């Protein structure tokens, strides 16, 4: 497979959405291929993280531009990307869990530290299995076929594009569609405000997903937006990261239940660790409104308006 990665999407305001989407997808596909090479060449945990990010960007971009392609053409590509993202996510989530566990262990007395290191060793065995599954997938014939099909889709103008009527004033170009998409998603995020005070962990996780979608949406069109787009992107990232920290205790408990169901020695040490993480989340929760207010500040709203007005 030959695929020439691009340094930037080179999106144009008058691009049809299908062809603008193809440019943004090609940019992130190139990023994914570069990270994939790093994953296969080493055991660097950052390479897995960056490939997961690139895969997420591809999936998000497909979601943004999906209405402008025939779904039967996209379905197998989306399914293959989802499977790849799940394998990367399994490895990455355990990487993060083990890193945090060992930071916590360093602060504990020596006896507790030994138990936590034994737990980490057990997780290490599971981690090796997950990386093996990932490598097997990335070296498989099915994955190679997916890469060829995706590259062909990206390199063929108008491939799988929905027909655009040329005798009706239907919005179909980037400058006509992007402002609506951005403001609609911004509205989705702001609709959570009345529910924040009593929001469950599940609802806050859902909010994080919507904030991330807003961020990725703005970034997809950032070449064409005003310079103030960076202010909004930064605000989204700050809130997204905070909400991710709130979710960490739940993820840690889920991973413990999945990978340490038969733990004997160190069980109490693990319980204390999970209790400490839960306490951290409860302390963080006290600053939720402060974090939301920073995201929803008048300066951020003004920056969004200025950024979109460039289209």
CATH number for position 93: 1.40.20.10
Count of the separate structural domains present in the chain = 2
- Residue whose token pair is 């090479």: 37
Contact assessment for residue 11 and residue 224, using Cβ atoms and an 8 Å cutoff? yes
* CA nearest neighbour of 121 among 270, 268, 245, 250: 270
Does residue 34 belong to any structural domain of this protein? Answer: yes
- Residue by residue, DSSP assigns 108-133 as S-HHHHHHHHHHHHHHHHHHHHHHHH
Is 186 in the same domain as 308? yes
The DSSP secondary-structure symbol of 271 reads H
Does residue 158 belong to any structural domain of this protein? Answer: no
Is 193 in the same domain as 91? no
- Residue by residue, DSSP assigns 212-265 as HHHHHHHHHTTTTS-TTHHHHHHHHHHHHHHHHHHHHHHHHHHHHHHH-TT--T
Provide the 10 A C-beta neighbour count for residue 39: 23
The distance between the two most distant Cα atoms of the chain, rounded to a whole number of Å, is 77
Is 29 in the same domain as 106? yes
Residue numbers of the chain with a pLDDT score lower than 70: 1-2
Does residue 103 belong to any structural domain of this protein? Answer: yes
CA distance 54 to 37: 13
What residues make up the domain containing 296? Answer: 174-311
**pTM over the 0.85 mark:** yes
Contact assessment for residue 164 and residue 3, using Cβ atoms and an 8 Å cutoff? no
pLDDT score recorded for residue 181: 98
pLDDT score recorded for residue 5: 76
pLDDT score recorded for residue 1: 63
Integer-rounded Cα Rg, in Å, for the chain is 22
pLDDT score recorded for residue 266: 83
pLDDT score recorded for residue 75: 95
Does residue 271 belong to any structural domain of this protein? Answer: yes
pLDDT score recorded for residue 49: 96
* CA nearest neighbour of 76 among 142, 31, 161: 142
Is 196 in the same domain as 95? no
């Amino acid at each position: 497979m030959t695929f020439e990665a691009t340094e930037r999407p080179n999106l144009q305001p008058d691009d049809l959405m299908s062809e603008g989407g193809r440019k943004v997808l090609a940019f992130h596909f190139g990023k994914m291929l570069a990270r994939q090479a790093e994953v296969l060449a080493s055991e660097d945990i950052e390479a897995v993280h960056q490939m997961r990010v690139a895969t997420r960007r591809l999936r998000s971009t497909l979601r943004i531009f999906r209405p402008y392609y025939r779904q039967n053409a996209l379905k197998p590509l989306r399914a293959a990307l989802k499977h790849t993202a799940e394998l990367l996510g399994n490895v990455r989530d355990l990487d993060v869990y083990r890193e945090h566990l060992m930071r916590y262990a360093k602060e504990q007395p020596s006896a507790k530290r030994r138990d936590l290191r034994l737990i980490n060793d057990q997780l290490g065995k599971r981690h090796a299995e997950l990386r093996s599954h990932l490598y097997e997938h990335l070296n498989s014939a099915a994955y190679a076929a997916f890469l060829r099909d995706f590259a062909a889709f990206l390199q063929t103008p108008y491939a799988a594009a929905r027909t655009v009527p040329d005798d009706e004033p239907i919005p179909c170009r980037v400058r006509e569609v992007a402002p609506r998409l951005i403001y609609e998603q911004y509205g989705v995020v702001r609709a959570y405000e009345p529910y924040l005070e009593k929001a469950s962990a599940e609802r806050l996780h859902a909010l994080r997903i919507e904030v991330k979608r807003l961020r990725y949406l703005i970034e997809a069109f950032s070449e064409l937006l005003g310079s103030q787009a960076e202010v909004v992107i930064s605000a989204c990232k700050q809130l997204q990261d905070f909400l991710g920290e709130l979710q960490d205790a739940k993820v840690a408990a889920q991973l413990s239940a999945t990978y340490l169901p038969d733990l004997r020695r160190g069980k109490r040490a693990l319980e204390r660790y999970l209790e400490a993480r839960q306490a951290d989340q409860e302390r963080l929760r006290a600053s939720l409104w402060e974090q939301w207010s920073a995201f929803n500040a008048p300066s951020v709203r003004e920056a969004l308006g200025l950024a979109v007005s460039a289209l």
